[in-house]
Amino acid sequence: MSFDFKKEYKEFYMPKDRPSLVTVPVMNYIAVRGKGDPNDDYGEYKRSIGMLYGVAFTIKMSKKGDHRIEGYYDYVVPPLEGFWWQDGAEGIDRGDKGAFQWLSVIRLPDFVTKADLDWAVREAGEKKKSDFSAVKFFTYNEGLCVQCMHIGP
């Protein structure tokens, strides 16, 4: 059975219906930074999400190829996460989506090293005949957070 981050770490991925405090430990991710309207069909955000998933699934499916990752275990690719902001805006100006800046991330299993990610970026690029170099190894220590469920647009 595949390791599922959402099931094993419910405190991070399945928030309760009431706000709560949660301490998020240091985690490694694959990440792409960008800016612009996330709703633009041909924009940077849409391309970046394709790059993230392309690399995430290259790592996951490495078990079927020649590249062996030390400590590999089968897992479900974790959900997409993101950090959003607008420079110079107080709060969020929803009327100016073109001013959004973002960091989109997908959590990595602990066995994935920067060298493994570098391999996956090259491999995905070769298979898809595209540039995946914007995908980076990202470590983040979020620490103490308030977690609350958001429902709806």
Task: Indicate the pTM of the whole model.
Answer: 0.92
The number of distinct structural domains making up the chain is 1
Look at residue 134 and tell me if it is in a domain: yes
Q: Is residue 120 part of a domain?
A: yes
Q: Is residue 12 in some structural domain?
A: no
DSSP character string of 116-151: HHHHHHHHHHHHHTS--TT-EEEEEEEEEEEE----
Residue 19 lies in a domain: no
Kindly report the CATH number assigned to the domain that includes residue 41: 3.20.80.10
Tokens coding 113: 């090293």
Question: Residue 73 domain-assigned?
Answer: yes
Residue 59: give the domain boundaries.
Answer: 3-7+29-147
What burial letters (b/e) apply to 12-26, b meaning 16+ CB within 10 Å? beeeeeeeeeeeeee
**Assigned domain for 15 exists:** no
Judged on CB neighbours under 10 Å (0-12, 13-18, 19+), 134 is middle
Distance CA 92, CA 47 (A): 23
CA distance 69 to 16: 35
Tens-binned pLDDT, residue by residue, of the chain (153 aa): 899 999 999 999 988 889 999 999 999 999 999 999 999 999 999 999 999 999 999 999 999 999 999 999 999 999 999 999 999 878 888 889 999 999 999 999 999 999 999 999 999 999 999 999 999 999 999 999 999 887 777
Residue 75, domain member (yes or no): yes
| 123 is a domain residue | yes
**Cβ-contact 77, 106 below 8 angstroms:** yes
Tokens of residue 83, six digits: 């950090």
